[in-house]
Amino acid sequence: MKVYRIALVPGDGIGKEVVPAGRRLLEALARTESDCQFAFEEFPWGADFYRNHGVMMPDDGLEALKAKDAILFGSAGDPAVPDHITLWGLRLKICQGLDQYANVRPARILPGIDAPLKRCGVEDLNWVMVRENTEGEYSGAGGRVHPGFPLEVAADMSVMTRAGVERIQRFAFRLAASRPRRQLTVVTKSNAQRHAMVMWDEIACEVAREFPEVAWDKEMVDAMTARMVNRPASLDTIVATNLHADILSDLAAALAGGLGLGPTANLNPERVYPSMFEPIHGSAFDIMGKGLANPIGTFWSVVLMLEHLGEAEAARRAMRAIEQATANPKLHTPDLGGSATTGEVTEAVCALVGAAAKNPLATA
């Protein structure tokens, strides 16, 4: 029997509601899968920890995470703490510290979801966006001098390395090759950014030679926004820089039905370190503590975790339960126009997982 060691990092805001919901889904799966069990450890890091200790997570936090098989993360952000402190002190510290260089965000219109694209006659989309997760525009290089003076200077430097670009492009081509359409769109801005983005394009051409079975094209990031809205079926796998994919993946989530639904995997593909799974949304303080948070994005992130751990059957069962839940309008939270609570959706998805186990034919 395999016992997976799972770190739970709820973080801030509704992260504290959706991560426990994700844990309940894993527990429901474990009740019905005797050879796949989970040992949880919760790490109470985030803005409250910062208020008490002056840091978002302790110095030895990364070492504690390295001992785990996977991490389920909620969100980092608090109205009383500057965003760059919450983001750099926790989420980016983990992603960079554990070399989770591939951020992967699938986007599909789940059954029963009234997605904006559906209103334009698009019945489905099936995208997966790959975001470079450790360098580029969010490398952290830069600085400020003469703060507060008229000659104050501030600079954020986008840093791209050949090694960093090659590995993310290769990851994206490999992922595209594994999907039925074998198609990749490389997002760029090499017309205006004439150094790093030109290297990005050149490396895409080089890596493409290793994958002759993948049909690929290049799209400027500004044109990409219009293409996602006007020609969504022309896209399948997408790779973009840290900043570009940050923005495009929120657009993808909104087009597919809302921020509450989308999942994210922060992968260390070589598995030297554990990978981290989290919903696409942030801390959403406006709805915190009211039972209004949609847990579906976290549940789908749990599916990505199970797939990464090699538990394909459990992942399929969880995804099927999620889709059965979204297909039922009575299980829609207020962000989807319904009145179900976080707890009700969680109960229902866990029950569906259990029911599928009792009647395996129901999942066929």
CA neighbor of 107 nearest in space, from 326, 240, 246, 263: 263
CB of 301 to ligand ATP, least distance (A): 11
Tokens of 359: 């009647």
Tokens of 320: 């099927």
Tokens of 51: 């208020």
| Residue 330: burial class (beta carbons within 10 Å; 0-12, 13-18, 19+) | exposed
For ligand ATP, the closer CB: 348 or 355: 348
With H, G, I as helix, E, B as strand and everything else as coil, classify residue 272.
coil
For residue 42, list its beta bridge partners: 8
Rule CB under 6 A: which residues touch ligand ATP? 14, 75, 77, 259-260, 281-287, 292-294, 297, 333, 335
CB of 193 to ligand ATP, least distance (A): 26
For ligand ATP, the closer CB: 112 or 354: 112
For ligand ATP, the closer CB: 275 or 342: 342
For ligand ATP, the closer CB: 26 or 336: 336
Q: Strands (DSSP E) along the chain, which ranges?
A: 2-11, 36-42, 70-75, 102-108, 126-132, 136-145, 153-159, 183-188, 215-220, 237-240, 263-267, 275-279
For ligand ATP, the closer CB: 12 or 219: 12
CB of 343 to ligand ATP, least distance (A): 13
Which residue's CB comes closest to ligand ATP?
Answer: 282
CA angle, 312 as apex, 236 and 297 as ends, to 5°? 60
Tokens of 329: 């309008």
CB of 303 to ligand ATP, least distance (A): 16
For ligand ATP, the closer CB: 167 or 332: 332
CB of 274 to ligand ATP, least distance (A): 23
Q: How far apart are CA 249 and CA 92, in angstroms?
A: 17
For ligand ATP, the closer CB: 78 or 311: 78
CB of 348 to ligand ATP, least distance (A): 16
Tokens of 331: 């299980």
CB of 298 to ligand ATP, least distance (A): 8
For ligand ATP, the closer CB: 199 or 259: 259
Count of positions (residues) in the chain? 364
CB of 243 to ligand ATP, least distance (A): 15
With H, G, I as helix, E, B as strand and everything else as coil, classify residue 261.
coil
Q: Which amino acid is at 257?
A: G
Q: How far apart are CA 285 and CA 288, in angstroms?
A: 5
Contact 90, 46 (CB under 8 A): yes
Given CA atoms 225, 227, 230, 234 in this order, what sign does their dihedral have? negative
